[in-house]
Structure 1
């Protein structure tokens, strides 16, 4: 008998994400994109000439049209650019139409799908430009999120430097404690998310180290012991993959985790995965990654400068690697990776563990389906097991899996918005592999 899956989440089913109702959040983001484009007018004209100014008007017009389509619940339309993934998206639109029996619309079609489609439409406007085809509409916001967090970044990196200088004499128990701590640092770094806050300011202004003890009781699922057992296993695989989420402070916490994994001997190579285009406002692109290392390297703050230079060397000697595969910005969730990105799926077969960061990756792991919260995490992956995997996720969307019976009701009595406000989290692990 064919397994019956839960229904996908849609705008009409769920009331809210973190700060705005999900029907309202996308128009707000689009308005901010249009405003950002408009404010760039003088700088773009000075640096690129009059043709670029006309292209800015074109982009702004596309964004305004898209915002109107969202607000009036128009049908999802095909893409018109000539990018490598255009055919993939247009084929998916046809497939959704056939499945639903009508043209997909913003408030009825599965929410994950239309949200991804919106960001791809923004990129369509950019890619149709000749002069501004590399424009990132979210670049200024991502950079500000980093610079506004510099004090907290310096405190964290100073602490990391002290720890890494001790690793040569550290006991195995010490190294385990380092990993536990930096898993939680990377976990709570995920609260800084510009797409959830509708691209409003969202930086880290306090030391995350001072918050860990207070936040630990809010980790609803903590599979750190299973992650440790996986890392300590006699596997011949010495790679660890981190599927990144947000730029800014969160990226720094991810790089700190990568450093601990490497210097403590848990892996010989850390492979990090970013997005191939600007995505969900603050997701890490290759350009964001390189800008971050450059900003660290040239900082007057000593720990930032130290790690900026060290991490640039790690990329050069290939103990760290960064790739930005197209699959991460396609309409597919991760259970479809084996079919639609088989080479990427196969590439994970030599990894010790995959670490998925953030809410969007979590939603794609679970297919953004309305699971019963007590459904085991492994079941919600629907066969996606290329290697052991761990999800580090602050809760910002109306879905979760792996809770104990009664746990949902208990936390709901403490915090009515627990599923969406980023104050609760999970460290979920699945050790099963289809190798």
Structure 2
């Protein structure tokens, strides 16, 4: 494929497609699980907020039930009605879609990316319309359970981090490139722990992530690790300082821990001087990181009985205080737009990222937005599928959970398909895709 010709959008029109199964089957399951979680919290909410909280809970449950019915019966999408700052953006975009097609989008006939994002925005609307539960995260218990159930793997990872950082600071000669590869891969495979892809079912990392690296190595379809490492090293030469890095986060729980350990490695080994973590403005795709999730995780580490967890919890809290690490929130991450529209839709964020030396984007949804959630031929060069999105050199770390991927070699997709027919969607295959140029 040459040029930047558009591929068609992924939608739910084909009933054999994963998109159809996602909307028709998985999304109602997620909504049902939310309703169950809300019901189980009835006593706790009443104790904390009284009768007003009980009424809010009934309202929230009713909104979720209504939304579930709309999904299952393919109702038209309706405007958002709460008071969040992004309401006008969502509703103006809905008007654009209606003007382009002549009718409102519906769940089974519209681009998958739009309706899936819209569903999570409607879930947040249900909370926003409450009086006492505006800050209620319907996914919080699941996220925190995922973190707690992954303690064994987290301890192994943090002990490894402690040891290599200690050896480096003591002057021991270490293979920097090999260690970078290890921490990058741990962050990559941490993306397997996704509560959205599992329809909100329990997901935890229970074995050593380091022991699994060799096992998963053949499943990395595109591996631009060397180019990523070289780009970060060149920054020290060209700018006379380590890189300022942005990490667009995905999931809370174990994956966030792998990202924090990777960030610590970059700081400790002089590959980065500043790191900005980008989180979601509200609960999103079940397990995505919010500001609360980020702070809660650091606080859990500080309070841990593990010397490794408490040590790095304290170090990372200090990083946040002295601005070595920063946490940033922007509404753009919880909109449905592909990233090539960021400059026109959200110029301030694009300008902010253009000041970065390097951007890491975690997970499947960020990847889908990078490539527009389009049905690109698998051999389309990654930088072409970005369609001009290039505020800075960037790398997507993504385990495949949806049926779009680019940058593969000729025949590679067919070869993988003979080994695993669900390779596009089961999270067992991955890409480390790098771009340092415009399409």
Give the TM-score category using the shorter length: over 0.9
Give the whole-Å Cα distance in 2 for the aligned partners of 1:218 and 1:362: 17
Gaps of 5+ in 2: none
Matched, 1:69 2:70: yes
Give the whole-Å Cα distance in 2 for the aligned partners of 1:80 and 1:384: 31
Superposition map of 1:325-340 within 5 A: 325-340=330-345
Q: Secondary structure of 1:403's partner?
A: coil
Gaps of 5+ in 1: none
Residue equivalent to 1:10: 11
CA 1:359/1:240 → structure 2, altered by over 3 Å: closer, same or farther?
same
Residue equivalent to 1:421: 426
Q: Deviations over 1:241-279 (max 9, x none)?
A: 100000000000000110011111011101110000000
Residue equivalent to 1:219: 220
Residue equivalent to 1:87: 88
8 Å contact kept, 1:186–1:250: yes
Matched, 1:290 2:305: no
Matched, 1:304 2:309: yes
Give the whole-Å Cα distance in 1 for the aligned partners of 2:357 and 2:65: 46
User: How far has the Cα of 1:14 moved from its partner?
Assistant: 6.6
Residue equivalent to 2:415: 410
Superposition map of 1:387-402 within 5 A: 387-402=392-407
CA 1:107/1:365 → structure 2, altered by over 3 Å: closer, same or farther?
same
User: How far has the Cα of 1:396 moved from its partner?
Assistant: 0.5
Deviates more, 1:9-18 or 1:179-188: 9-18
8 Å contact kept, 1:374–1:404: yes
Residue equivalent to 2:271: 266
Residue equivalent to 2:259: 254
8 Å contact kept, 2:15–2:21: no
User: How far has the Cα of 1:6 moved from its partner?
Assistant: 1.0
Superposition map of 1:366-405 within 5 A: 366-405=371-410
8 Å contact kept, 2:245–2:276: yes
TM-align CA RMSD: 1.6
Q: Secondary structure of 1:80's partner?
A: coil
Give the whole-Å Cα distance in 2 for the aligned partners of 1:137 and 1:18: 24
Q: Secondary structure of 1:269's partner?
A: strand
Report the count of equivalent residues: 432
Deviates more, 1:311-320 or 1:372-381: 311-320
8 Å contact kept, 1:395–1:423: yes
8 Å contact kept, 1:388–1:433: no
Residue equivalent to 1:157: 158
Deviates more, 1:348-357 or 1:40-49: 348-357
Residue equivalent to 2:132: 131
Instruction: Calculate the TM-score normalised by the size of structure 2.
Output: 0.96
Give the whole-Å Cα distance in 2 for the aligned partners of 1:307 and 1:337: 34
User: How far has the Cα of 1:49 moved from its partner?
Assistant: 0.7
Give the whole-Å Cα distance in 2 for the aligned partners of 1:13 and 1:231: 42
8 Å contact kept, 1:92–1:331: no
Instruction: Calculate the TM-score normalised by the size of structure 1.
Output: 0.97
Q: Deviations over 1:16-72 (max 9, x none)?
A: 659964421100000011111111100000011110000000000000000000000
